[in-house]
Amino acid sequence: MLDYPGVLANPYGRSQRPNINISMAKPEQKNQIAQNRKARHNYEILETYETGIALAGTEVKSLREGRANFKDSYADVRNEEVWLHGMHISPYSHGNINNHDPERDRKLLLHRNEIRRLIGKTKETGLTLVPLQLYFKRGKVKVELGLAKGKKQYDKREAIAKRDAERETKRQFRARRMSI
């Protein structure tokens, strides 16, 4: 008779095997739709949040075609709800008169405690909410939202100089490896 530690015996005298579901877990797949490249250049990202987004059916179909644009989009908190402004989702190519408005405000779906935390953070001077990327995760559209602080012009130049220096050192290492 097999005995497993920590498992209670059933009333019939046999111990039951623990119900363990061992499966090969697949890593989370993110199918990226759009990315806000300017956000990381213009802002210093302090925290990120994964949020859901309330969409119409034709918006989801349009996103599956990859037709979204983050230019000049931002998020804010109104009446204990988070709203995304300025994100352009093109009308669905095979839609009819019931197509969505491409520039409408869209509600972001967060837990209440996260929203309360964001209210406190955005009250601080200089902090804002910017969308970083839009992707599909398990068939649902998700938005990666960043709590960000605006960079000054000299910070941007410093980041560019640092990136160029790293690129140059990598290039030199590659050249040395090739000559050996």
With a pLDDT cut of 90, the percent of the chain lying above it is 23
Q: Name the CATH architecture for the domain at 30-150.
A: Beta Barrel (2.40)
Q: What is the pLDDT of residues 43-58, one digit of tens each?
A: 888 999 999 999 888 8
Q: Which pLDDT does position 7 carry in this prediction?
A: 55
Confidence grade of residue 96 (pLDDT, cut at 50, 70, 90): confident
- The structural domains of the chain, with segments of one domain joined by +, span 30-150
Which tokens go with 65? Answer: 């075609």
Q: How far apart are CA 130 and CA 127, in angstroms?
A: 10
Residue 8 has pLDDT above 60, yes or no: no
